A = this chain, B = another copy of it.
């Protein structure tokens, strides 16, 4: 496994592979590190589909707001490298911030509409930072396929739209959310939770299951569903503080007529939620229609 800290090195390493195999496919798994089984599943998918797998580990300051957790975002380079090695990743790219941003950045890749709701509303500028760093990484790594977890469904939608709009020669591969045994979606931020919060955090998964059931009802509308989930989470998890619960079209994240029964919707839609436990903000979602096939650890 090659570990690169500079842009020059990783470009060279990928070019070397391409020189050796002109038809080879390069897979890319961009992460912020503190890797868990969710990331590992992306690496395995890339390994299965591509001749070369590149993993990036970069906590991108541009996508954190001034009052967010950039400084305290969990990091553990040593353990990350161990996990990547175990998953037989070919190249790990872990640049310092000054390598990615040697000068003040004046360029922003901005996706409108999709980014002004859900996490975009709660985290202004967040998706501008995501679009910009993903553009940079795509140009540096030049992958054929890039793997993203659906836990960040809005991120997947934003990156897919950006890729389509700007003709990036990259296929975006959305991958199923990986969950703990009790259903909590894996997230690097889960380590922030204390014992009580951790126990109650499973409420997000339970609420999504409830959404699956409720959506079977002929008369259930987006507004009605949202209200029921809101009430359920508040009652079931007293430590929770709801940031948002939304029912939107997917992947365009369009507003749905809140009084039209979900059963009458022809297109796909998403239930997405962000819930805080103390200062830890957790997100989860489910796409409809579609059976729940999430893999569990």
Task: List residues of A whose CB falls within 8 A of some B CB.
Answer: 7, 11, 19, 22, 103, 105-114, 131-132, 135-136, 139-140, 142, 161-162, 164-169
Q: Which of B7, B106, B112, B135 is the one whose CB lies under 8 Å from A114?
A: B106
**Cα distance A109–B114 in the bound complex, in angstroms:** 16
Given contact pairs A110-B110, A112-B106, A161-B106, A132 touches B166 in the complex (Cβ within 8 A): yes
When chains A and B are docked, how far (Å) is the Cα of A140 from the Cα of B168? 8
Q: Which residues of B contact A110 (CB under 8 A)?
A: 107-110
How distant is A145 from chain B, measured CB to nearest CB, in Å? 15
A100 to chain B, nearest CB (A): 9
B22-A135 in contact (CB<8A)? no
A103: chain B residues within 8 A (beta carbon)? 164-165
Smallest Cβ distance from A158 to chain B, in angstroms?
9
Contact of A167 among B22, B113, B136 (CB under 8 A): B136
Q: Does B162 contact A107, Cβ atoms closer than 8 Å?
A: yes
Which among A107, A164, A165, A169 has the highest number of chain B CB atoms within 10 Å?
A107
Q: List 24 A-B contacts (CB under 8 A).
A: A11-B169, A19-B22, A103-B165, A105-B165, A106-B112, A106-B113, A106-B161, A106-B165, A107-B109, A107-B111, A107-B162, A107-B166, A108-B109, A108-B110, A108-B112, A109-B109, A109-B110, A136-B165, A136-B166, A136-B167, A139-B166, A139-B167, A139-B169, A142-B169
By CB atoms of chain B within 10 A, which of A103, A113, A139 has the most? Answer: A139
Complex CA–CA separation, A22 to B132 (angstroms): 30
Q: Considering the chains assembled together, what is the distance between the CA atoms of A30 and B107 in angstroms?
A: 20
Taking CB as reference atom, which chain B residue is nearest A107? B165
